Structure 1
Amino acid sequence: MSPRDVVRQWVDAFNQADPDALAALYAEEAVNHQVPEEPVEGRRSILEMFEREFENADMTCIVENIFEDGEWAILEWRDPLGLRGCGFFRVKGGKIVFQRGYWDKLSFLRQHGLPIPDTME
Structure 2
Amino acid sequence: MTPKTLVEEWVRLFNEGNAQALGQLYAEDAINHQVANSPLKGKKAIINSFETEFATAKMTCIVEHIFEDGDWAILEWKDPLGLRGCGFFQVSEGKIVFQRGYWDKLSFLRVHNLPLPTT
1:90 maps to amino acid: Q
Q: Measure the CA separation in 2 of the matches of 1:12 and 1:93.
A: 20
Q: Which residue of 1 aligns with 2:63?
A: 63
User: What TM-score, normalized to structure 1?
Assistant: 0.98
Q: Which residue of 2 aligns with 1:89?
A: 89
Deviations 1:62-117 (A, max 9, x none): 00000000000000000000000000000001100000000000000000000001
Q: Which residue of 2 aligns with 1:34?
A: 34
* 1:98-109 equivalent positions in 2, closer than 5 A: 98-109=98-109
Q: Which residue of 2 aligns with 1:19?
A: 19
SS of structure 2 residue aligned to 1:76: strand
Q: Which residue of 1 aligns with 2:4?
A: 4
- Unaligned 5+ segments in structure 1 are none
Q: Percent identity?
A: 65
- Unaligned 5+ segments in structure 2 are none
Q: Report the Cα offset of residue 26 of structure 1.
A: 0.1
2:40 maps to amino acid: V
Q: Which residue of 2 aligns with 1:80?
A: 80
* 1:47-62 equivalent positions in 2, closer than 5 A: 47-62=47-62
SS of structure 2 residue aligned to 1:82: coil
SS of structure 2 residue aligned to 1:118: coil
How many residues align structurally?
119
User: What TM-score, normalized to structure 2?
Assistant: 0.99
Q: Measure the CA separation in 2 of the matches of 1:62 and 1:31.
A: 23
Deviations 1:8-55 (A, max 9, x none): 000000000000111000000000000000000000000000000000
RMSD in angstroms over aligned alpha carbons?
A: 0.3
1:84 maps to amino acid: R
Moved over 6 A (4+): none
Q: Measure the CA separation in 2 of the matches of 1:62 and 1:105.
A: 18
